[in-house]
Amino acid sequence: MIYGIDVSHHQEFIDWKLVKKSGARFAFIKASEGETYADPMFDENIHGAVEAGVLPGTYHFFLPRYDPLAQARHYAQVLQENAVDAPCLPPCIDLETPGLGKAGLNKALRIFIEEMYNLTGRKCILYVSPGFWNSYLPVPVQSGYKLQPSEVDWAVEYPLWLAHYTTGLPYQIYPWVGWRFWQYTSAGRIAGVATKVDLNFFQGSLEELFKLAAS
């Protein structure tokens, strides 16, 4: 597995050369939130990562109370305004705020992801924890030996970034089999970052990681 981090302005100044020297090969960097907010450290972080040789990814913190189309367009605009001439992981939606009810959140999520594909030509990575996904999305429940009809089968087409803080391997959540990225702690430490930081693994080889960045 390949080691990486995810950051936002909360990590303040980051010495990306030290981050790379410490073994991180990729970093998800907060770009935006809601309909109008852009992370004030995004431009500095993404360019710093690229210059240090750390493969960048980006994420949007999704807020269900706002229009999913407007959020996708805002995220895409922030990415365009801070574009880097280097490989970058697909855009990511950070899903950890409940709202709209199960069916409503599922619909809003699909609208956002489909609009991001229309705007960027790339399939989003979906970041979520098992507890959130199973509580706030219409995940099927088992009845005897069968699962009830599901409204979340569409999500299997998108790479899963699973947030699960455990000493063992993370849970599997429906409809995915396994995961692509695993955020295994929010209290990590790495040289180059003065604060605590989220730590992650990519399940695959370095070649597969860069292949995903090219998709």
Token readout for 190 is 């790495």
Residues in contact with 136: Cβ distance below 8 Å, sequence separation at least 6, in sequence order: 98, 102, 105
pLDDT in tens, 78-98: 999 998 989 999 999 999 999
**CATH number (domain holding residue 142):** 3.20.20.80
CA–CA separation, 110 and 94 (whole Å): 13
pLDDT in tens, 70-83: 999 999 999 999 98
pLDDT value of residue 143: 52
pTM summary value:
0.94
CA atoms within 13 A on the CB side of 8: 14
pLDDT in tens, 92-149: 999 999 999 999 999 999 999 999 999 999 999 999 999 999 999 999 875 555 566 6
166 alpha carbon, distance to own chain's centre = 19
CA–CA separation, 122 and 105 (whole Å): 21
pLDDT in tens, 40-50: 999 999 999 99
∠ at Cα 30 (118, 26), nearest 5°? 95
Q: Between helices 101-120 and 68-81, what is the axis angle to 10°?
A: 30
Token readout for 208 is 């597969």
Task: Report the domain count for the chain.
Answer: 1
Distances (CA, A) of 57 to 45, 131, 149, 198: 11, 24, 34, 14
pLDDT in tens, 6-28: 999 999 999 999 999 999 999 99
Q: Which domain holds residue 31?
A: 2-213
CA–CA separation, 139 and 176 (whole Å): 12
CA–CA separation, 174 and 199 (whole Å): 23
